Structure 1
Amino acid sequence: MRTLDRLVGRVSQAFGIVAAAGVAAIMVAIVSDVTVRILTNRSINGIYELVESLVIVVAFMGLAYTERAGSSVRVTLLTERLSPGVSRVVRSIGVIAAALTAAWIAYSCWGNAFSSVGRGEVRQGLVAFPMWPARLLAALGMTLVAIEFVMTAIRIWLRTETDEPFASQPMAVAEPEATPGTTLVGSNG
């Protein structure tokens, strides 16, 4: 189980890196387009279509890592007031419902992706831009997030998942130092 969990975690992290690279690519594409437009009074052909596809990649490829890292929105108003056993059942039901929903969306995404690949779908604009790669990545991302939800449910039942998500756990932060002759606000000295 731990080996599978680590493998899914590594794949989710890789997908998160792809999503982050997508954000960087969007930034570079838009800055390049604006720069060229300022200098030449013309846009770069295909940038709109590229950014449109990259937004899909960023959105879907980052979901699994977000779940793994515990960075998605979690409302613990009810579960923190329940006994640990009941809380575990309620959280499991919620995560399983999320897994089923993600699996349903993934199933639909795969149908769209296979159809798109089969017909060689392109977005017609100034440049004929292929849409099937983004559709395949969306299907992959939804499949992985469904798997991540299942892994979260398993961790809840094995009691290795807490109510405290990874992202909200306290991090070590260095205390600021005052420069000579100044006092830090809120300090006792």
Structure 2
Amino acid sequence: MNRILSGIQKVNLALGTFSGLLVMGLVIAVVPDVMSRSLFGLSILGASEASVLILVITVFFGLAGAQVRREHFRVVVLETQLSGGWLRAVTLVRMVICVLAAAALSWYSIRGAYTSTLRQEMSYAVIVFPLWPARIVIATGSVMLTLQYIVDLILELRGGSSHTVETIPGEGLA
């Protein structure tokens, strides 16, 4: 079981790293288009659409990796006032809510990706640009976030705080 949990975390960390690297791709897609608009009054065809796809990949592939590293924002006003059993109970309730919310997002994004892929959904703006790859990315990122929340919940239920899990790539769970 530890191998599975560690494997999910490693995949999520890899996707997070990939999404971080894609920021450079976003710059490469946006800067020439902005320069072309400024200097020549012309935009580069497809640059805007490619930027949106890169941004979607960056955000949705980065979600689960950020969760592994505990980099999401949290409001802990209540948690800082609790200790012992009450803190554990609130933590478990919060984690269950996160699992359910992420699972609902995953369910609807999978349905949307499936329908979009079957229809070969396209954007018909200045150029024809496929929308279904972005929908698949959203579904994949949502599923990986759901799996990460499940990993966190399992680790918390085992008694070890999910906040103390080693998240250094390559080390995994002991």
Rounded Cα–Cα distance in structure 1 between residues aligned with 2:162 and 2:56:
31
2:111: which partner in 1? 111
Rounded Cα–Cα distance in structure 1 between residues aligned with 2:118 and 2:92:
38
- Matching of residues 132-171 of structure 1 within 5 Å: 132-161=132-161
Give how far 1:166 is off: 8.2
Amino acid at match of 1:16: G
Map Cα deviations across residues 64-103 of structure 1 (whole Å, 9 max, x no partner).
0111110111222222322322211211111111111111
* Structure with the larger helix share: 2
Amino acid at match of 1:31: V
- Which deviates more, 158-167 or 139-148? 158-167
Q: Is the 8 A contact 1:106 1:143 kept in 2?
A: yes
> Cα RMSD between the aligned structures?
2.0
Amino acid at match of 2:107: Y
2:47: which partner in 1? 47
2:130: which partner in 1? 130
Does 1 or 2 have the higher relative contact order (CA < 8 Å, sep 6+)?
2
2:101: which partner in 1? 101
Q: Is the 8 A contact 2:36 2:43 kept in 1?
A: yes
Three-state SS of the structure 1 residue aligned to 2:92 is helix
Q: TM-score, normalised by structure 2?
A: 0.87
- Matching of residues 1-189 of structure 1 within 5 Å: 1-161=1-161
1:171: which partner in 2? none
Q: Gaps (5+ residues) in structure 1?
A: 168-189
Q: TM-score, normalised by structure 1?
A: 0.81
- State the number of aligned residues: 167
Q: Is the 8 A contact 2:70 2:163 kept in 1?
A: no
Three-state SS of the structure 2 residue aligned to 1:123 is strand
Give how far 1:53 is off: 1.7
CA 1:81–1:163 in 2, change beyond 3 Å: closer, same or farther? farther
Give how far 1:144 is off: 0.7
Give how far 1:131 is off: 0.8
Rounded Cα–Cα distance in structure 2 between residues aligned with 1:64 and 1:12:
5
CA 1:64–1:113 in 2, change beyond 3 Å: closer, same or farther? same
CA 1:165–1:34 in 2, change beyond 3 Å: closer, same or farther? farther
Greater C-alpha radius of gyration: 1
